[in-house]
Amino acid sequence: KHVPVIAVDGPSGSGKGTISQILATKLGYHLLDSGALYRLTALSVIEQSINPEDKKAVAEAALNLDVVFEPQPDGEQKVLLDGEDVGVKLRLDETSAMASKIAAIPELREALLTRQRQFRQEPGLVADGRDMGTVVFTDADFKIFLTASPEIRAERRYKQLIEKGVDANISHLLKSIIDRDERDRTRTVAPLVPAEGAFVIDSSQLSIDEVVQQILDFMGFSE
Ligand code: C5P
């Protein structure tokens, strides 16, 4: 039986996390935050002092992740790594930088493929990431590509961090967003590009509700 997938790809801070959560909640679908898997692997690499150049060891760390995603009533997901709530650690700059560094390792991407595809369960899945439409779910029913200017994305990330009680510096964030974009776009495996036929939305000047509405319209779902 065909289980529908909505692939939502784009750079960090484009709003795809929030939008994907809202879509999943509205449609009653499962949610895959694939970036969390890269971040979780990054956290394991950091905490277990694994050499990030050791591709096999990094892929191994991904296969050994003991992780539980607990959907919360507000649509957020609690992430437990070895039983520990790592919500804040996952968002730290150090973790983000390590995630984007190791994300260029083909062995790691391969190791995470099966894990990501396991999220595809009835009644459907909203998959949030960089390569959901281009690699992981090439047969997705709908492919969305969300973008926004780097400045707007840095501002959004800043607010997000402050809300979580994490100290942040906006110019530093902007620089790390630009660096990370560059790495994600130019890597040879699964570079960040819109999938063929993707519905591309620039959310810089749009509210969250407007973006959600555009996506629902695109999919032919009316509220
Ligand atoms: O989406 P998020 O910012 O949490 O992702 C963290 C990092 O993981 C990204 O910078 C990117 O390098 C990597 N990633 C990826 N493919 C995905 C999701 C995330 O390469 N599908």
Kindly indicate the confidence band of residue 223, based on its pLDDT and cuts at 50, 70 and 90.
low
Residue 181, pLDDT score: 87
CA of 222 to the centre of ligand 1 (A): 30
Residue 76, pLDDT score: 79
* Residue of 20, 34, 181 best suited for mutating to test ligand 1, as the one with most atoms within 8 Å of CB: 34
Percent of the chain with pLDDT over 70: 99
Whose Cα sits closest to atom 19 in ligand 1?
35
| Position 179 pLDDT exceeds 70 | yes
* Residue of 12, 34, 38, 161 best suited for mutating to test ligand 1, as the one with most atoms within 8 Å of CB: 38
Query: CA–CA separation, 145 vs 197, rounded Å?
Result: 10
CA distances from 219 to 30, 146, 206, 222 (A): 17, 15, 18, 9
- The single-letter code of the amino acid at 158 is Y
pTM equals 0.92
Q: State the ipTM, two decimals.
A: 0.97
With CA atoms as reference, report the closest residue to 104 among 210, 198, 180.
180
Cis upstream peptide for 52 (omega within 30°): no
Residue 93, pLDDT score: 83
pLDDT tens-digit profile of 21-80? 999 999 999 999 999 999 999 999 999 999 999 999 999 999 999 999 998 888 778 999
DSSP-derived letter for residue 133 is: I
> CA quadruple 100, 127, 77, 37: dihedral positive or negative?
negative
Average pLDDT score over residue span 89-112 = 93
Backbone φ and ψ for 216, nearest 5 degrees, come out as -60, -40
Backbone φ and ψ for 39, nearest 5 degrees, come out as -65, -40
CA of 10 to the centre of ligand 1 (A): 9
Count how many residues are written for the chain. Answer: 223
Whose Cα sits closest to atom 20 in ligand 1?
103
